[in-house]
A and B are shown apart, each in its own frame.
Chain A
Amino acid sequence: MLISARMGESESGGARILVVRCDCGFEVRGTGDEVVERMQDHARNVHNMTATREQVLDRATSA
């Protein structure tokens, strides 16, 4: 996979906040749905690649 997504997560007020970072340095932070949507947009618009939801969420590391 061209984009290596590293994820950290923390919980705030009951909502799980995730962090996803592309190898190029682009980073998104938000709920699972938010980071998936934004990272998929980034993958398509900047790297011409398709990132599945599973690929984006698959690289979680502890915050």
Chain B
Amino acid sequence: MLRLNDGVPELAGPCGPEPWYLEVGPDEDPVEVVSRLSANLLGPPLLAHSTSWRRGRGGVILSFIVVIADGQAPDFEGVPIGRAELARNSATEAARSIAAAQVIEHGLRHLSWLAKEDQVVKGVLSDEWKRLLEGYVPEPFQHV
């Protein structure tokens, strides 16, 4: 759950700086679940997009970037996001360990790519977001 605070991206969600895990039932759409819970708890998001997947917690974890408006959900404290090196391995094997910061870094690189390639994403992101994302090397969806 991302928002800008004076031009600085920050994490803001029900679990604070920790990853916010949602369970998706076998008949549920992950995007619908993420969008619904985000809207219920923090107000309607500007954008909800999946950015990577990995194995974990006995299943598959699908990571999402959810962008909310600047100043939205002020009751949820924000934690500034720093830069991180991506977790990598070989061409056919995922990284052996992945930190939350690396998932976020990859998510923002993916968002940077979307901000250039996707007309819908271009339309909802502010100019400030687009300027910030210029600093991230664009990357498509990836198995991390």
A15 at the interface (CB under 8 A from B): no
**Chain A's nearest CB lies how many Å from the CB of B60?**
13
Q: Which residues on the B side are within 8 Å of A23 (C-beta)?
A: 21
A47 on the B face (CB < 8 A): yes
- Docked Cα-Cα span, A25 to B13, in Å, equals 12
B46 part of interface (Cβ distance < 8 Å): no
Q: Would you call B37 and A48 a contact (CB within 8 A)?
A: yes
Residue interface mask A33-46, B partner, CB < 8 A = 1: 00000000000011
- Of B15, B18, B33, B57, the residue contacting A48 (CB under 8 A) is B33
Q: Label chain A's interface by main secondary structure.
A: loop
- Tally of contacts, chain A with chain B, CB under 8 A: 33
A45 touches B22 (CB 8 A): no
> Are A24 and B40 interface neighbours, CB within 8 A?
no
Q: Answer whether A46 and B41 are a contact pair too, CB < 8 Å, given A2-B57, A25-B16.
A: yes
Query: Is B20 a contact partner of A24 (Cβ separation < 8 A)?
Result: yes
- Cα-based distance from A48 to B34 in the complex (angstroms): 9
User: A49 contacts the other chain (Cβ, under 8 Å)?
Assistant: yes
Additional A-B contacts beyond A45-B37, A45-B41, A47-B22 (17; CB < 8 A): A2-B23, A2-B57, A24-B14, A24-B15, A24-B18, A24-B20, A24-B21, A25-B16, A45-B40, A46-B14, A46-B15, A46-B20, A46-B37, A48-B24, A48-B28, A49-B22, A49-B23
